[in-house]
């Protein structure tokens, strides 16, 4: 139990750090003169590879500290919005994977789930900025940028998960991941099997 928890924390911390880097340092110029980032792509990847709770932690904490570094006024919005985005995406992908494993529908439904969570993110930021600025017109300015960011992130995550098949590539390297069981749980269970094999007492 302790090893499993340690692995979960480790994987989540790495994912949060990658989300921070993708938010602060990997920026794409947008049509309105601002920038979009690739934080949502990391969140979607984390949801697909590690599950809902690590994705929630990666999304919430990664963007919270990114905003703290760049623009602290919105850090609590980001904590809640991206945290929920990761949680919902992880839950949806886990459900889809359990019902459509190895089916041609899984990439379509998985991509749709990511897109839905991206729309959730964009809509929640619109409401948060409406509350922050006091007018819907001011909040509307950033909506197209967030939609573009979500769309770009969905494309990258779908390519990585369902076309490049990143989960399968990681498994070939001995790192078992998947939406039905988190990577931390897989590694922990493998270690448990090895330990039980060498245990002469058993249970």
CB 44 within 8 A of CB 60: no
Other beta carbons less than 10 A from residue 149's beta carbon:
24
- Tokens describing residue 131: 């509350």
Each residue's pLDDT tens digit, 52-99: 999 999 999 999 999 999 889 889 999 999 999 999 999 999 999 999
Residue 183: pLDDT over 90: no
Which residue carries 């919105």 as its tokens?
A: 74
Write down the residue that tokens 């002469």 correspond to.
200
Cβ contacts of 183 within 8 Å, gap of 6 or more: 7, 11, 49, 50, 170, 175, 176, 177
Domain boundaries, the chain: 2-187
Q: What is the dihedral of CA 165, 166, 168, 171, to 10 degrees?
A: 180
Determine the average pLDDT of the residues in 28-40: 78
Q: Burial, 203: exposed, middle or buried (Cβ in 10 Å; 0-12, 13-18, 19+)?
A: exposed
CB 34 within 8 A of CB 79: no
Distance CA 83, CA 59 (A): 5
pTM of the entire structure? Answer: 0.82
Bridging pattern class, strands 27-29 and 35-37: antiparallel
pLDDT in tens, 118-175: 999 999 999 998 998 888 888 898 899 999 999 999 999 999 999 988 877 777 666 6
46-50, 119-123, 197-201 — which is least confidently predicted?
197-201
CATH 1.10.1660.10 assigned to domain 2-187? The reply is no
């Amino acid at each position: 139990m302790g090893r499993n928890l340690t692995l979960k924390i480790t994987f989540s911390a790495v994912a949060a750090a990658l989300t921070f880097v993708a938010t602060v340092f990997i920026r794409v110029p947008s049509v309105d003169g601002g920038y979009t980032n690739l934080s949502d792509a990391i969140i979607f990847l984390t949801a697909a590879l590690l599950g809902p709770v690590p994705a929630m932690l990666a999304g919430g904490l990664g963007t919270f500290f990114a905003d703290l570094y760049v623009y602290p006024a919105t850090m609590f919005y980001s904590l809640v919005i991206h945290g929920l985005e990761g949680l919902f995406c992880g839950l949806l992908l886990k459900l889809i994977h359990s019902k459509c494993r190895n089916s041609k529908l899984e990439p379509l439904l998985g991509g749709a789930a990511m897109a839905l969570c991206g729309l959730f993110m964009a809509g929640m930021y619109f409401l948060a900025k409406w509350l922050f600025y006091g007018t819907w017109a001011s909040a509307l300015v950033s909506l197209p940028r967030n939609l573009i960011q979500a769309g770009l992130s969905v494309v990258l995550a779908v390519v990585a998960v369902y076309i490049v098949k990143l989960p399968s590539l990681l498994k070939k390297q001995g790192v078992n991941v998947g939406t039905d069981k988190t990577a931390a749980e897989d590694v922990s269970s493998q270690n448990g099997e090895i330990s039980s094999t060498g245990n002469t007492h058993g249970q």
